[in-house]
A and B are shown apart, each in its own frame.
Chain A
Amino acid sequence: MHPSAVASAARDRGLDGIAVCDHNAAGNVGALMRAGRRLGLGVVAGMEITSAEEAHVQALLPDEAAALALEGRVQAALPGRNDPEAFGLQVLADENELVLGYDEHFLAGATVWSVEQVVAEIHAAGGLAVAAHVDRETFGLIGQLGAIPERLALDALEVASHTPLAWARRTFASGGQALLCSSDAHQPQDIARGVSFLRMEGPSFAELRAALAGRDGRALLGGGWPMEDLALHVLDIAQNAVEAGARSVEIDLREDSATDALVIEVGDDGPGMSPDMVDQALDPFFTTRTTRKVGLGLSLLAQAARAAGGDVTVESREGRGTTVRATFGHRHVDRQPLGDVESTLMVLLAANPGVAVSFRHQAHGREWRLDSRRLEEEVGGPLASPQGLAALRAVVRAGEQWLAEAGPIDARRAGGRPCRG
């Protein structure tokens, strides 16, 4: 670990605080806390402990001393020695990147402690026990044990992949447990991919403890790994249609500032859905129990629409196709930006040469259209070729430019990075 690189990456990405949770080790905690202090970044001491069942539980601890004391107990319960050839060197460094030594324990291994013992050890050390990445296939409590044991005195659960928080809450935390979203970063570039929002005085352990317990006005507000913009939802819905077997997809974007409406419609000629399937697709809890493929994208879109004063309707007939219509308040403060239409269309058309895509975008009393079949004919070949891509870019850029010229300067269209959450 490079403590100062981790701290600057976190600071650069706008985080107020991080927790450092190496696997079964705390040797770098102090250096990272000091590197964070230099940059004004809060660093909470921690450790990710592997139980005998190979479930990961995070310990969030009051300070470096508590972390080192717990590390001693963990490593005494951790069999084996590290093989640097197979697993790499486990470097201990200070805040100036000077190598202090190497941790010789087999940190990638499992302790002999059951999850109950791990949680008890964490609490005895004055810490908070968090079930790590419960949404993962492996090394999470649910993945390893099939369920979260009811008697386990966890202080929070963590989701650490592209799981919408609302769905995770209903699926994993129906008992009302605090749900943290984190990046589970193993490399500096992963930092801040998932974030949690907390209301507290500052990023310290004591404040975190109060926020997770909902005490003294402190609170865990939410978090997540959101879709960046509405164009990504369009790509997702269209791509889902293609996966389901559609050969033709129609995309319609209508922006009407007079009625303050933004409407996104994606129609396809795929196999369609029964009324039951439609209900399930809009209900993330139901559909994603078996597979994430069907419906998760629709429920994400529904969340985005409802957050912006709109909704999603799905019309579908088996054997005929499906039309998804999402409405948004155009000026609603929580409406995500439309985002990058150009790269969305280039990716969609280049990735699906066998699918006829027609696109229409209306705004400011103007509209432009794109028909993938006609463009292919004009190019005289596939769009995923140098000529095809150049033509595609030129057409989309011209169309979007034509609309933008008619409208007011709209910061939301500039594709700026939206707030997470």
Chain B
Amino acid sequence: MPRVTIDDLKKIRDAGSRTAALRAGEARARVTVHLGTCGIAAGARTVMSALLAEIEAQGVTDVLIASTGCAGLCSREPMITVELRGQAPVKYVQLDPDKMRRIFKEHVLGGSLVQEYALASGSETTG
């Protein structure tokens, strides 16, 4: 019997979460928080706590929450990825609770990108 690798398991899980998002249908967005060691050391817990507090306080029921690991940009953590239904995912970098709250309000709920905090293409190399 062929052995199942970690990558296989990851693919299965990722596919699972994608289907769940599609099945949910009414979800307006998915917010993925990068919870690798680098993200956690940089403050991902406080960023995600701020996100959860907004969801709870505003009674938001149509935003899916997910987590992922290291994206290879350790020095730009904490990071999240915001996917609005039918739109390309946007990564936000070097976040703190205030930036998270603003992204939640303006992008996740309001639908407009917060350019200042987004990872612009090519900007991985500044710095």
Contacts and interface: CB of A to CB of B under 8 A. Distances in A.
Interface of A: 108, 133, 136-139, 160-163, 184, 186, 189-190, 225-227, 232, 235-236, 239-240, 242-245, 271, 291-293, 296-297, 300, 340, 343-344, 346-347, 350-354, 384-386, 389-390, 393
B40 A354 contact: no
Interface of B: 4, 6, 9-10, 13, 16-17, 33, 35-38, 40-42, 44-46, 48-49, 52, 55-56, 58-61, 64-70, 72-75, 77, 94, 96, 124-127
Contact of A352 (B42, B56, B60, B67): B67
Given A346-B49, A384-B65, A292 B37 contact: yes
Nearest to B12: A245
Contacts of A296: 37-38
Nearest to A187: B94
12 contacts: A136-B75, A162-B41, A227-B41, A232-B41, A239-B36, A240-B69, A245-B6, A271-B6, A293-B69, A293-B70, A354-B16, A384-B55
B13 A245 contact: yes
A224 to B, nearest CB: 10
A85 to B, nearest CB: 15
B49 A343 contact: yes
Contacts of A235: 35, 40, 45
A114 B44 CA distance: 38
B61 A351 contact: no
Q: Which of B4, B68, B127 has the most CB of A within 10 A?
A: B127
A240 B37 contact: yes
A293 to B, nearest CB: 5
Q: Which of B37, B74, B127 has the most CB of A within 10 A?
A: B37
B104 to A, nearest CB: 13
B16 to A, nearest CB: 7
A87 to B, nearest CB: 10
Given A239-B35, A343-B49, A390 B56 contact: yes
Given A184-B127, A186-B127, A351-B66, A340 B45 contact: yes
Given A162-B74, A346-B49, A354 B17 contact: yes
B61 A386 contact: yes
B42 A162 contact: yes
A232 B4 CA distance: 30
Given A184-B75, A239-B69, A385-B55, 5 more contacts: A162-B75, A190-B94, A243-B68, A343-B49, A350-B48
Contacts of B68: 243
Nearest to B46: A343
A293 B64 CA distance: 24
B77 A162 contact: yes
Q: Which of A162, A226, A291, A389 has the most CB of B within 10 A?
A: A162
Contacts of A133: 75
B87 to A, nearest CB: 21
B74 to A, nearest CB: 5
Contact of B13 (A186, A236, A354): A354
Contacts of A384: 52, 55, 64-65
Contacts of A239: 35-36, 40, 67, 69
A61 B41 CA distance: 32
A138 B127 contact: yes
A161 B68 CA distance: 19
Contacts of B42: 162, 225
B40 A227 contact: yes
A343 B45 contact: yes
Given A138-B127, A350-B52, A160 B75 contact: yes
Contacts of A139: 125, 127
A240 B69 CA distance: 8
Contacts of A244: 6, 9
A121 B12 CA distance: 55
B36 A347 contact: no
Given A292-B74, A384-B65, A386-B61, A225 B52 contact: no
Nearest to A346: B52
Contact of A292 (B67, B70, B126): B70
Contacts of A343: 45-46, 49
Nearest to B53: A389
B91 to A, nearest CB: 16
10 closest A-B pairs by beta carbon, nearest first, are A245-B9, A351-B67, A161-B75, A384-B65, A297-B37, A162-B41, A389-B56, A343-B49, A243-B69, A239-B35
Contacts of B45: 232, 235, 340, 343-344, 347
A291 B75 CA distance: 14
A162 B37 contact: yes
A325 to B, nearest CB: 19
Contacts of A108: 126
A389 B37 contact: no
B55 A292 contact: no
A146 B61 CA distance: 48
B44 to A, nearest CB: 8
